[in-house]
Amino acid sequence: MTHISPKKILKEAKEGKYSIGAFNTNNLEITQAIIAGAKKLNSPVIIQTTPSAIDYAGLSNIFLIVKNEIDCQKVVAFIHLDHAKDFETIRQAVEIGYSSVMIDGSQLSFEENIQLTKRVVNFAHTRGVVVEGELGAIGKGEGGLTEKNSSLTDPNQAVEFVKRTGVDSLAISIGNAHGAPVGEKIDLDLLSVIAGKVSIPLVLHGSSGLKKRDLKMAIANGICKINIDTNIKTAVIETMRAGLKKPTKDYREIMSQVRIEVEMIVEKYITILGSEKKGKV
């Protein structure tokens, strides 16, 4: 896989006042769609796999699918492990070749979160891998499931967390939620305060339910990486349902249409996030 520096990509986004789309994948077709959208608009992208995606596809399988597509299509992209909650999952991903990982200790106490995140940072940094941490628990976890505890990110704790852990980027809780809930709103004032205190790139999870204006304002207030998953899953399911109503003897016809629909979503978000034509290798 062509070496792309995740740290450099996010730094350029921060300085350029745009954001990088981080799109979740589970299989070949979704990966191809993400890559196609990025290539068409000459945009850097992050291709993410969650632990549940790894359980579904297999760690080696999904990593090699993403790696091969990036290498063959020659796009500015890297693979990122999203929402790992334990050190062992991180270790396996780093050792197979992930260049970016997220350790999600948001459901732990503040001190426990710091200790786990610091352990991951120490391990990953010695291997040239960047780390995203999370502080504050968003209302719904990965997959749209309700978390036991939800809390907004405390700006002063964010300063201490970054200083003590050494993370490269920070996912924050400002009213965002996974699963694209109706009426999702973010606290831009809180975001502005956090961005004024924390110098590293900030990450927004659960962005599928936010409107274009919300995303633009989030970027203007310091968000450099925006995660999109639910809208992709919804498009896949709706396209498959529509395809099954038509006469076909080949499921590849349906999956080809899935690719087209997901690519359109990727292109839409690249345009909103302002990363178009920023894909210089």
145: left (phi > 0), else alpha (psi -120 to 50), else beta? beta
Nearest-5° Cα angle at 80, 77 to 82: 145
> If we measure between CA atoms, which residue out of 75, 74, 72, 67 comes closest to residue 49?
67
What angle (nearest 5°) sits at the alpha carbon of residue 249, between those of residues 238 and 61?
65
- Bridge partners of 101, per DSSP, are 81, 131
N-terminal to C-terminal alpha carbon distance within the chain: 13
Q: One of 71, 82, 154, 187 is an active-site residue; which one?
A: 82
Round to whole Å and give the CA distance between 81 and 74. Answer: 21
108: exposed, middle or buried (Cβ count in 10 Å: 0-12, 13-18, 19+): middle
Q: What is the residue type of 81? A: L
Please, how many CA atoms are within 13 Å of residue 148, restricted to the half-sphere of its CB? Answer: 5
Q: How far apart are CA 119 and CA 39, in angstroms?
A: 36
Residue 82 is a catalytic residue:
yes
Contacts of 77 (CB under 8 A, 6+ apart): 4, 34, 35, 38, 44, 45, 46, 47, 70
* Catalytic center residues: 82
